[in-house]
């Protein structure tokens, strides 16, 4: 397995003049930085690119919404050309895909939210979730909740099951909870690991703060304040630390635990958790410790990502280069300079798709890779809600592979014996040979029946002879006993006559 980097770029604000600008979605080798594939004709801004990875049974796809047109571009990994264009109800400012690729959510500059089913294009819901522009959308890792952030400083958590419930379609969707402690527009949201609602969420805002929330209790755990505005976040999968980047090029590493002090006997402990009153100021951290946790990039930062192994930090910039840092040492390992002059708007790491154009895996069959790995279907999105289409639509779904059963002890000798018993007679020549074989078998069985009858007759004769002998012996014994009794009576009478 090979980990690669997915990087989406857009033209700078001064040169972006059309939705088909010079931006692209590019794939790079994480270890060498070499370019693997490039998908052009996109100019998606930040938070406007969504990816579904390819699996062993289905090919993934990429979505990118354009900044100045109500158009959604669709790409797949099997060809480097635009797969389809979807006309949207209005221009979207951000999009998100759930981890399984079933639903796509979009937000607008007016605060309106949309939720589509990807396979059918059915518009499941459209509602006013905010009163200002929606800046970021995130699905939780299990896809059960959608989290939206806006310029109105609010963060709303929506239950997906309620959004798609037929019985609630005529009602205004209500959020599961609203996280409303920020005072300025939301810039980024990151979800932790867990099943909704048993998970934590990080939110960043223009108010110089990053907040940690617990969705199970709908409460604020901790607030971190920074000397600069935080524009993007990256959270370690084990939730040990997170990185917060500022537009001025500074990237702060914030540990969510305190190191153990063996000399004083103080064990490692978690940081924060006291709620509204728990505010941790990064400026108050000792200068030496703060310097060790700070990465200085020579240009403004526009995107952050942590590799799947948790050992590398990828930093995208507004001037194009992507820097790869070693997290434990903060050492710069390499820089991907392919996109100089453009703004990096999206960064992610993923396993190399098995159906990637020009890089088909040797383990796949020699045929067309499109026939080997079918692409997940993406239908044109509805622009208006249609109840009839929703109830009547059919969704093409690829059944998962059948689970392997537990291994059963079955020796080779037993397998060959059963094979000979069940299959060999059917594979031995013509019907005439089968008839001869059947007649021989019938003759053998008749011979066995005759032998059994002869043995049965002998056994019956032995039984009769034994019965006769026993009966004769019993009769003889009874006759002898009666004669002895008669002689005893005559002897008693003779003795009485003498007296």
pLDDT tens digit sequence for 280-336: 998 888 888 888 889 999 899 999 999 998 999 999 999 999 999 999 999 999 999
Evaluate whether residue 407 is within a structural domain. Answer: no
Evaluate whether residue 61 is within a structural domain. Answer: yes
Q: Taking Cα atoms as reference points, which of 39, 160, 3, 27 lies closest to residue 96?
A: 160
Evaluate whether residue 430 is within a structural domain. Answer: no
The answer on 251 and 324 residing in a single domain is yes
The per-residue pLDDT for range 109-144, each reduced to its tens digit, is: 999 999 999 999 999 999 999 999 999 999 999 999
Over range 427-433, report the average pLDDT.
Answer: 52
The answer to which of 87-91, 117-121, 369-373, 424-428 has the lowest mean pLDDT is: 424-428
| CATH of residue 74 | 2.130.10.10
Residue 321 near residue 22, CB atoms below 8 Å = no
223 SS3 class: strand
pLDDT for the residue numbered 364? 46
Greater confidence (36 vs 413) lies with 36
The answer to which of 146-160, 247-261, 364-378 has the lowest mean pLDDT is: 364-378
Evaluate whether residue 242 is within a structural domain. Answer: yes
d(CA 214, CA 194): 11
Over range 455-459, report the average pLDDT.
Answer: 90
d(CA 70, CA 47): 16
Residue 19 has pLDDT above 50, yes or no: no
The answer on 314 and 443 residing in a single domain is no
Greater confidence (390 vs 399) lies with 390
The per-residue pLDDT for range 184-220, each reduced to its tens digit, is: 999 999 999 999 999 999 999 999 999 999 999 999 9
pLDDT for the residue numbered 48? 95
The DSSP symbol for 404 reads P
The answer on 451 and 377 residing in a single domain is no
pLDDT for the residue numbered 406? 54
The answer on 133 and 277 residing in a single domain is yes
pLDDT for the residue numbered 491? 67
C-beta atoms surrounding 84 within 10 Å: 13
Residue 279 near residue 223, CB atoms below 8 Å = yes
Greater confidence (304 vs 170) lies with 304
C-beta atoms surrounding 481 within 10 Å: 9
The answer on 455 and 328 residing in a single domain is no
What pLDDT band is residue 13 in, cutting at 50, 70 and 90? low
The answer on 348 and 440 residing in a single domain is no
Evaluate whether residue 174 is within a structural domain. Answer: yes
Residue 322 near residue 5, CB atoms below 8 Å = yes
pLDDT for the residue numbered 402? 62
The answer on 455 and 323 residing in a single domain is no
d(CA 121, CA 117): 5
Residue 38 near residue 356, CB atoms below 8 Å = no
The answer on 451 and 374 residing in a single domain is no
The answer on 300 and 447 residing in a single domain is no
What pLDDT band is residue 433 in, cutting at 50, 70 and 90? low
The answer on 164 and 35 residing in a single domain is yes
Residue-range definition of the domain harbouring residue 456: 436-480
C-beta atoms surrounding 458 within 10 Å: 10
d(CA 319, CA 342): 5
The answer on 290 and 381 residing in a single domain is yes
User: How many domains does the chain divide into?
Assistant: 2
The answer on 448 and 340 residing in a single domain is no
d(CA 469, CA 225): 114
Greater confidence (421 vs 319) lies with 319
pTM: 0.75
Evaluate whether residue 398 is within a structural domain. Answer: no
Evaluate whether residue 495 is within a structural domain. Answer: no
Angstrom CA distances, 67 to 11, 215, 371, 411, 425, stand at 11, 32, 34, 65, 71
Greater confidence (316 vs 404) lies with 316
Evaluate whether residue 489 is within a structural domain. Answer: no
């Amino acid at each position: 397995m090979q980990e690669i980097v997915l990087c989406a770029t857009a033209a700078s604000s001064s040169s972006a003049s059309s939705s088909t600008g010079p931006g692209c979605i590019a794939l790079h080798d994480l270890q060498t930085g070499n370019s693997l594939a490039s998908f052009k004709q996109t100019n998606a801004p930040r938070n406007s690119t969504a990816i579904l990875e390819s699996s062993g049974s289905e090919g993934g796809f990429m979505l990118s919404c354009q900044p100045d047109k109500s158009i959604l571009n669709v790409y797949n990994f099997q060809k480097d050309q635009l797969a389809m264009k979807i006309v949207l109800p209005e221009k979207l400012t951000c999009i998100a895909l759930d981890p399984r690729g079933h639903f796509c959510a979009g937000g607008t500059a007016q605060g309106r939210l949309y939720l589509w089913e990807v396979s059918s294009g059915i518009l499941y819901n459209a509602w006013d979730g905010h009163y200002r522009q929606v800046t970021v959308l995130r699905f939780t890792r299990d896809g059960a909740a959608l989290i939206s952030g806006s310029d109105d400083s609010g963060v709303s958590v929506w239950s997906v099951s309620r959004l798609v419930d037929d019985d609630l379609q005529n009602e205004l969707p209500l959020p599961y909870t609203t996280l409303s402690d920020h005072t300025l527009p939301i810039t980024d949201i990151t979800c932790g690991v867990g099943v909704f609602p048993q998970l934590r969420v990080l939110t960043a805002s223009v108010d110089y703060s990053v907040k940690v929330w617990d969705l199970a209790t709908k409460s604020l755990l901790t607030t971190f304040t920074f000397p600069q505005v935080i524009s993007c976040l990256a959270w370690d999968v084990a939730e040990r630390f997170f990185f917060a980047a500022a537009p001025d090029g500074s990237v702060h590493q914030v540990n969510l635990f305190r190191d153990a002090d063996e000399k004083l006997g103080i064990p490692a402990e978690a940081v924060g958790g006291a709620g509204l009153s728990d505010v941790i100021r990064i400026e108050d951290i000792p200068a030496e410790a703060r310097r060790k946790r700070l990465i200085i990039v020579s240009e403004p930062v526009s995107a952050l990502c942590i590799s799947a192994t948790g050992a590398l930090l990828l930093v995208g910039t507004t001037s194009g280069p992507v820097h790869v840092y070693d997290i434990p040492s903060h050492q710069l390992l390499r820089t991907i300079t392919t996109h100089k002059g453009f703004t990096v708007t999206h960064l992610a790491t993923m396993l190399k798709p098995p159906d990637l154009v020009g890089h088909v895996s040797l383990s796949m069959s020699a045929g067309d890779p499109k026939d080997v790995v079918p692409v997940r279907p993406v239908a044109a999105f509805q622009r208006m809600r249609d109840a009839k289409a929703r109830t009547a639509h059919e969704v093409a779904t690829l059944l998962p592979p059948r689970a392997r059963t537990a291994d059963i002890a079955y020796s080779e000798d037993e397998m060959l014996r059963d094979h000979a018993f069940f299959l060999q007679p059917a594979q031995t020549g013509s019907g005439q040979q089968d008839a001869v074989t059947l007649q021989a078998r019938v003759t053998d069985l008749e011979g066995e029946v005759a032998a059994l009858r002869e043995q049965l007759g002998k056994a019956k004769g032995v039984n009769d002879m034994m019965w006769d002998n026993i009966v004769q012996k019993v009769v003889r014994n009874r006759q002898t006993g009666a004669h002895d009794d008669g002689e005893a009576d005559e002897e008693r009478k003779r003795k009485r006559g003498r007296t």
